[in-house]
Amino acid sequence: MNEEKRKMKILVFGNPLVEKDRLPLELMKELQKEFPQIEFKEFDTAEDLQQEGRELNIIDAVEGIKKIEIITDIDSLQTSKIFSLHDFDLAYTLKLLKKMKMVDSVRIFGVPMNLKKEVAFEQLKELIKSSLLSGNG
């Protein structure tokens, strides 16, 4: 039971109904097979993110990149103008949690929106191994 509590977790964001936003979700089953020691948790909204711990690992689709990148600087994330509560996005929520000192670190595995699934899986697999499982993460 105690070991289960310490199991590493990666939150996977995306929307299965939006083509450019679904790739991270499509990779979940393969990633779970590749990394049984990691819990991959589907997370469709940024609300209640603070309940997932002070050190967050996230996979999300990112616009404007060509290969999977690790983003750790919350301040570099772009936010949209907020017109209603539906406009709160991951970047805005992370910035708010940081300002409120509710998170210590964030590691986002940014997946390009137009990357082929097989290429994305291989790149993500290598980045997870090197950044989370090598002892350097």
pLDDT of 35-77, one tens digit each?
A: 999 999 998 766 788 889 899 999 998 888 899 999 998 877 7
Sheet-wide strand order for 38-42: 38-42, 8-12, 55-62, 105-112, 69-71
pLDDT of 2-12, one tens digit each?
A: 444 567 999 99
What pLDDT does residue 25 have?
94
pLDDT-derived band at 15, boundaries 50, 70, 90: confident
What pLDDT does residue 38 have?
95
What pLDDT does residue 6 have?
62
Q: Which CATH superfamily is domain 2-133 in?
A: HybD-like (3.40.50.1450)
What pLDDT does residue 82 have?
39
What pLDDT does residue 79 have?
58
pLDDT of 72-125, one tens digit each?
A: 988 777 655 433 333 447 888 888 888 999 999 999 999 998 899 999 999 999
Q: Which two tokens stand for residue 40?
A: 């991959």
What pLDDT does residue 125 have?
96
Q: Where are the domains of the chain?
A: 2-133
Q: Which one-letter amino acid corresponds to residue 128?
A: I
Single pTM value for the model: 0.84
Q: Shortest CA distance to 126 belongs to which of 107, 106, 109, 108?
A: 109
Grouping H, G, I as helix, E, B as strand and the rest as coil, residue 94 is helix
Q: Evaluate if residue 137 carries a pLDDT over 50.
A: no
Handedness of CA 62, 66, 70, 74 (dihedral sign): negative
What pLDDT does residue 80 have?
53
What pLDDT does residue 46 have?
66
